[in-house]
Amino acid sequence: MSEFFPEVKLERSAAEAIARGLYAVARCDGVHEREAGLIASFWIDAGGGGPLSDLERAESIKPADLAAALHSDAERQMFVKTALLLTWADGQVSDAERKAVQAFATALQIDAAALAQQEASVKDFLLGQLVHVQNTDAVREVANKMKL
């Protein structure tokens, strides 16, 4: 994997809890196609054993239940980082998404400073994906949209 996403071995139950948490964040303002794609990609990469449609229809996981399902700091950090990426998947982070990620982070015992650091890391990663783009005005516009 990469330094941004170090490899984390997940039990099926942890992978399912993370996927359900991602759906909970996505549902805050309606699941967009890119968000659904990111969740599906995570589920496949994590070796999810059941159909993704079962998770889509499942009730949103509560922050305390997600916290109980994730046993290591690496699992908790992976969820938060992936949830933050998910919030940017449709190009704009809604207040509802921001509040949902905050609620999950709190339940996972990730304080505000660590969450802010994770968010900055996600923004840097996303901007790093644009380095090859020739249209500097477009890159500047994206950076401004992300309030960097």
Give the Cα separation of 25 and 43 in Å (integer).
15
What's the whole-number mean pLDDT along residues 111-126?
88
Q: Which tops the pLDDT comparison, 127 or 18?
A: 18
Give the Cα separation of 136 and 142 in Å (integer).
10
Confidence of residue 1 (pLDDT cuts 50, 70, 90): very low
Residue partners of 144: CB distance under 8 A and separation at least 6: none
What's the whole-number mean pLDDT along residues 58-81?
94
Q: Which amino acid is at 124?
A: D
| Encoded tokens for 41 | 């990609």
Average pLDDT, the chain: 83
Give the Cα separation of 91 and 114 in Å (integer).
23
* Structural domain boundaries in the chain: 12-111
Is the pTM higher than 0.75? The answer reads yes
Block residue for tokens 């704009």: 92
